[in-house]
Amino acid sequence: MGRKDASTTKLPVDQYRKQIGKQDYKKTKPILRATKLKAEAKRTAIGIKVGLYLITLSFDMCMPFHFLKLGCINVKF
């Protein structure tokens, strides 16, 4: 049978995580705010890049049909 105190002892990993959490909490608000803004900017930049890529891709897919249609109209038999 195990001791009653065995359940109260914490693993070293849990103690380490708690210590790291305290250190992160002690950071000043401007640093945390800057970190959040940087992460958000990174996420939105990826979204903007994907959006521009899709717009460019759709434009590139439509242009050959546009030029083929114009070429057929100008040709007279």
pLDDT tens, position by position, 32-68: 888 889 988 888 888 888 999 999 999 988 888 777 7
Is this prediction's pTM over 0.85? no
Write out the two tokens for 66. Answer: 């546009």
* Gap between the Cα atoms of 13 and 61, Å rounded: 54
Domain boundaries, the chain: 26-77
Estimate to the nearest angstrom the gap between the alpha carbon of 40 and the chain centroid: 8
The pair phi, psi for residue 76, each rounded to 5°, is -115, 135
Query: pLDDT tens digits, residue range 1-15?
Result: 555 555 566 788 888
* Gap between the Cα atoms of 63 and 58, Å rounded: 9
Residue given tokens 């950071």 in the structure block: 27
